[in-house]
Each structure stands twice: as C-alpha cells, then as structure tokens.
Chain A
C-alpha cells in the first residue's frame, strides 16, 4: 500500500508541477485532470469512495471540461511566455526556500509518528452517512452554500443577457421619446 501511495504522490506532484510549467493552456488543463484523478485514487485508498467519485465527477468531469471549452472557444491555447513582473521571481525563490526549510525541519523533527493510518471501519464515508451528516449536523452551511450558488447562477444569467436587456429597454422607450 505504501508503494502505491508513493507512486500516486509522485504522479500527483509531477502533474501539478507540469501544469504550472507547460506553456500550452490545453496541456495545463489536462495535467490538472490527471492530478485530480490521482488525488481521487488516494481518496479511494483511504476508504472514501464517495468523495473520490465526487471529485472525479465535479472537478475532472465538469469544471475542467468548461475550462477546456473556454480555452478552445477563445483560441487561447498559447500562453504568453515572459513574466511581466520580473522582481516577483526573486521573492518567490526566497519564499520557496523558506518553505522548503520549514518543511524539512518539520519532517526531521516530527518524523517519528509518520506511520500508516489504520483503515477506517466499513461503512465510513458511505453515501448514506455523508447524506445524514450533511442534512442534520451541517444543514445550515449546506443551505448557505446552496444560496451562494443560486446567486452566482442568477448573476451569470444577468451578465450574459445584460446587452439584450438594455437593447429591449431602448426598444420600448423609443415611442415615448417621439411623443
């Protein structure tokens, strides 16, 4: 199991880095899909098939498809090469070094309890359990998220049709102006 974990971790990190490096937006999106898929398999290993398949359906299946759709529709495959903010790079390097040192320290000092987790009991994270918790303990957050999503959907519709709406208003206004 630990070998599978390391292979998957390696692939996931590799995909994430390639996604950042590659200069083609389509390949970037596809590396992100691969990353999501490997993370989903990690969830499967941890005994959470529901979360794993939700991850694939929502992120790999819907979000990135829309990304691809927009990239292809706009013909924006080639990303611009140069970095407009040159000084950012040096700060990023320094901060990255700090982060690496920090991580290294954390691992060397606390590596003692980096063991395998025991597999959760059967039925943990099953759809029934997830549903029960979502609609009893976390019912308020679920409602709030649903409301925010609704606002976003209405906003998208209004934004995409704003021209048409203003055009229609003018059509109705014109006869009044003549009188």
Chain B
C-alpha cells in the first residue's frame, strides 16, 4: 500500500463523485429535452447552445432561493434528511467496474474503485439505507402530506427491495460470485439478459420503483399529496432531494448494465487495436445512457399506478416471479454443470 496507490484511490473516488454530480446536472437537461420531444415541444434551449447551460442556471436559481424550515418541524432531522438521502446514492456505484486493467502513465491501473468479494451485498446494503432519508424527511416536516408521502415510499421501497434482491441472486448464480468484476467477466461470451430475460425485466421494474420514478412515483404524487415527502423543502435542501433522485437513476442504470447487459463488454470492442481496452468506460456509459432514455420514455408514456395496486403488484406478482426465476436459474446452472 504505497503512496501512489492511495493517491490512485483518492483520485478515483473524487472522479466518481464528480462524475455522478455532473451526470445529475446533465440528466435533468436530457430528461427535459427528451420529454419536450415526446410532447412535441421545444424544451429549454435558451441558456447556451442547445440549452447546455440550463443546469448551471437552475443551480444558481436554487442557491438564491429562501430556505424555509416549517414551524414545529424537527429541525435536526429536517436538515439531516436531505443529506442522508444523497450520500447513499453517491456511494452506491463504488463497486461498479468501469473497465478492465489498463496501462496509464506507466502503471497498471484497474478501472474500478473496489473489487470486493461482497460487491452485490454492498449495493443491497446501501440501497436499504437510502430509505431513511425519505422517511425522515416526511416525518420531520410536521406536515400530513409529507408524512403520508414518506410512509408510502418506505412501504414501496421495502416491498420492491425484496424482488430486487432475488433478481440480484440470478447473476450471482450464473457467475458464481458476488463480485461485480467477476459478474462482468462472466458475461464476456453472452450477456445474462439473454440467459435470463425474465429476471432482467423484473429487475428493471423494481429499479423504477426503487428510485421512485414514474409510473411508481407514488411518494410524490402531485395531485393527491402535493409533493409527498419534499413538499416542505425549498432551496438547496430541495435540490439535494432532486439530486439524489437523478443520481440514483444513473446508479441503478449502471448497476443494471453491469448485472445483465455485460457491463463494460461489447462484442468486438476490446479487439480494436491500441485503444480497445480503454473503451470500457465509454461502452458502460453508452449502455447507461440507453437505460436512462428508457426511464424518460416510461415517464413520458405511462400514467401513475394506484397505491394499493402498486403494493399488490409488488407482493403478488413480482415477488413470486422473482422467486421462480431464481429457482429456474439454479436448475439451469446445475443442469449445465
């Protein structure tokens, strides 16, 4: 563990944090432009060329907004809740590999921060922690709508986390390892989505529920709950919730691409001479972008599901189906062996 090694880790960590934050800014712009296209509008195009400076303008606006704390709110929790929401979404991608080992500045650099042998469990742990921020925000606001929104999102996220966990088991069974690097390497020949399309579809649905996006954006249903858990938040505290939602979107897209779409592998890309091994991150980013477009497409297309149907769908449809897909995968793995 020499000094250069520590420097390498620090640089990678800083890069991931900065990338996620910048990614958040431009995902909002991407979403607004795309939704505008879906609705035959133009969308934000005034700030900079193609509206590229729009996120900067939004950020400046939010900084100058007044920060309100409601009367009789629990002040400590009210301030802590946005922070608790953002941190898990920033750190969850620490175990996602961006590429293989490459030569950079004369030393072998693996393009991943941490290859721990419990990588997938780490993702489970961090996503299960991320429920707290939303729940506490709802409770600390001292507002009925916010509390209801917080409770709904807790129930929703816990329910869908179970099906999500079982879908995580499928790539683990197929690759024989909990490490995400091993899972990606096992998909060099064939992506897991072709081996287990059912589990991939269930994981995609639970992902939408896990990040509270349409059609599962129940916690913030505007019409019935004003804005759910963040109705009382303003200024930068509101921006933190907004940030957490979009960073989570990017993070789950990257995780899905890693688990079922072959991560940084794409056929023939690593055989390109010289630059081949360096293209891993770009392949991963391209897959992430496609999945993000999926998020936006679904939001522009599907109406929101009613709350009781959402819970029934999670427990009575997705949960048994995910169990079944684990069973089928286990049988498949045993038969092939």
Residues of chain A having any CB pair with chain B under 8 Å: 26, 30, 33, 49-50, 53-54, 56-57, 60-62, 65-66, 68-69, 72-73, 126-127
10 A-B pairs besides A69-B135, A72-B150, A127-B118 with CB distance below 8 A are A26-B136, A33-B132, A50-B121, A57-B125, A61-B128, A61-B131, A65-B131, A65-B132, A65-B135, A65-B158
- Among residues of A, the one whose C-beta sits closest to the C-beta of B117 is A126
**Nearest 10 interchain pairs by C-beta:** A61-B128, A56-B125, A53-B121, A57-B125, A53-B125, A49-B118, A57-B124, A127-B178, A50-B118, A69-B154
Instruction: Check B324 for interface membership: any CB of A closer than 8 A.
Output: no
- Among residues of A, the one whose C-beta sits closest to the C-beta of B157 is A65
Known contacts A50-B121, A127-B178; decide if A26 and B139 are in contact (CB<8 Å).
Answer: yes
Q: How far, in angstroms, from A30 to B158 measured CA to CA in the complex?
A: 17
Instruction: Check B77 for interface membership: any CB of A closer than 8 A.
Output: yes
B145, chain A: closest CB distance, angstroms: 14
On whether the beta carbons of B132 and A72 are closer than 8 Å, the reply is no
Inter-chain contacts of B124 with A (CB < 8 A): 53, 57, 61
Instruction: Check B54 for interface membership: any CB of A closer than 8 A.
Output: no
Known contacts A60-B129, A65-B131, A68-B135; decide if A54 and B121 are in contact (CB<8 Å).
Answer: yes
Inter-chain contacts of A126 with B (CB < 8 A): 117
How many B residues, CB 8 Å from partner? 25
Inter-chain contacts of B158 with A (CB < 8 A): 62, 65-66, 69
On whether the beta carbons of A26 and B117 are closer than 8 Å, the reply is no
On whether the beta carbons of A68 and B154 are closer than 8 Å, the reply is yes
Inter-chain contacts of A50 with B (CB < 8 A): 118, 121
- Among residues of B, the one whose C-beta sits closest to the C-beta of A57 is B125
Known contacts A26-B77, A69-B155; decide if A57 and B135 are in contact (CB<8 Å).
Answer: no
Inter-chain contacts of A49 with B (CB < 8 A): 116-118
On whether the beta carbons of B128 and A65 are closer than 8 Å, the reply is yes
Q: How far, in angstroms, from A66 to B159 measured CA to CA in the complex?
A: 11
On whether the beta carbons of A53 and B131 are closer than 8 Å, the reply is no
B125, chain A: closest CB distance, angstroms: 4
On whether the beta carbons of B129 and A56 are closer than 8 Å, the reply is yes
Name the prevailing secondary structure of the B interface residues.
helix
- Please encode chain B, from 94 to 131, with 1 for each CB lying within 8 Å of some chain A CB and 0 for all others: 00000000000000000000001110011011011101
Inter-chain contacts of B154 with A (CB < 8 A): 65, 68-69
Q: How far, in angstroms, from A161 to B131 measured CA to CA in the complex?
A: 27
B118, chain A: closest CB distance, angstroms: 5
Q: How far, in angstroms, from A26 to B131 measured CA to CA in the complex?
A: 14
On whether the beta carbons of A60 and B121 are closer than 8 Å, the reply is no
Inter-chain contacts of A60 with B (CB < 8 A): 125, 128-129
Instruction: Check B151 for interface membership: any CB of A closer than 8 A.
Output: yes
A142, chain B: closest CB distance, angstroms: 16
Q: How far, in angstroms, from A56 to B127 measured CA to CA in the complex?
A: 10
On whether the beta carbons of A72 and B129 are closer than 8 Å, the reply is no
Q: How far, in angstroms, from A33 to B129 measured CA to CA in the complex?
A: 10
Q: List 7 A-B contacts (CB under 8 A).
A: A33-B132, A49-B116, A50-B121, A57-B124, A57-B125, A61-B131, A69-B155
Instruction: Check B147 for interface membership: any CB of A closer than 8 A.
Output: yes
Q: How far, in angstroms, from A33 to B136 measured CA to CA in the complex?
A: 13
A102, chain B: closest CB distance, angstroms: 36
Q: How far, in angstroms, from A62 to B139 measured CA to CA in the complex?
A: 18
On whether the beta carbons of A57 and B117 are closer than 8 Å, the reply is no
Inter-chain contacts of A69 with B (CB < 8 A): 135, 151, 154-155, 158
- Among residues of A, the one whose C-beta sits closest to the C-beta of B84 is A30
Known contacts A53-B118, A72-B139; decide if A62 and B151 are in contact (CB<8 Å).
Answer: no
Q: How far, in angstroms, from A49 to B128 measured CA to CA in the complex?
A: 17
Inter-chain contacts of B150 with A (CB < 8 A): 72
On whether the beta carbons of B129 and A73 are closer than 8 Å, the reply is no
Known contacts A66-B158, A73-B151, A127-B178; decide if A61 and B125 are in contact (CB<8 Å).
Answer: yes
Q: How far, in angstroms, from A66 to B155 measured CA to CA in the complex?
A: 9
Q: How far, in angstroms, from A50 to B132 measured CA to CA in the complex?
A: 22
On whether the beta carbons of A72 and B135 are closer than 8 Å, the reply is yes
A164, chain B: closest CB distance, angstroms: 15
**Most chain A CB within a 10 A radius of its CB, from B77, B125, B128, B155:** B125
On whether the beta carbons of A127 and B117 are closer than 8 Å, the reply is yes
Q: How far, in angstroms, from A68 to B136 measured CA to CA in the complex?
A: 9
A30, chain B: closest CB distance, angstroms: 8
On whether the beta carbons of B151 and A72 are closer than 8 Å, the reply is yes
Q: How far, in angstroms, from A54 to B121 measured CA to CA in the complex?
A: 7
Inter-chain contacts of A66 with B (CB < 8 A): 158
Q: How far, in angstroms, from A69 to B132 measured CA to CA in the complex?
A: 10
